[in-house]
Structure 1
Amino acid sequence: MPFANFKFPEGVIDATRKEEIIHRTTAMFVEYFGEGVRPYSMVLVEEVTDGGWGRADETLTLAKMGLAPKT
């Protein structure tokens, strides 16, 4: 079963964008593996609490990245 897990800072993307990510990722799986994988493809789009993630040993926040949450 193809599986993709996307994580975004909370409030950065809206429901429309999440749906687009799901559709486009599923289409990519079908392109690579064939139509038979569509019913078994899973795409998980998660929102991570601001400050609840990091990279290179640094906790990241929207403010540090110069971003503001979508309202």
Structure 2
Amino acid sequence: MPFVNMKVPEAALSRAQKEEIIHRVTDLVVEYFSEAARPHTMVLIEEVKDGGYARADEVFVIPEAYRAVDGA
């Protein structure tokens, strides 16, 4: 079973954006593995809380302007 795991900042994506990503990633997997993979493809989008991720000692917090608004 193909399994895709994405980690994104909490509140960075709306529900609609997550659904679109799931569909597009599934289509990409099917493009490589054939249509037979579709019912077995798992796409997991995990949201990481602000301050729960960093690079080179810089802890990230998503700016308010970049937060998704559900229903958009």
* TM-score interval (norm. to shorter): 0.7 to 0.9
Displacement, 1:22? 0.4
Structure 2 Cα separation of the partners of residues 68 and 32 of structure 1: 32
- For residue 58 of structure 1, what is the aligned residue in structure 2? 58
Q: Deviations over 1:14-62 (max 9, x none)?
A: 0000000100000001000001111110000111101101123332111
Percent identity over the alignment is: 51
The alignment's C-alpha RMSD in Å is 1.6
Task: Give ranges in structure 2 of 5+ residues lacking alignment.
Answer: none
Structure 2 Cα separation of the partners of residues 11 and 48 of structure 1: 9
Structure 2 Cα separation of the partners of residues 50 and 67 of structure 1: 14
Equivalent residues, number:
69
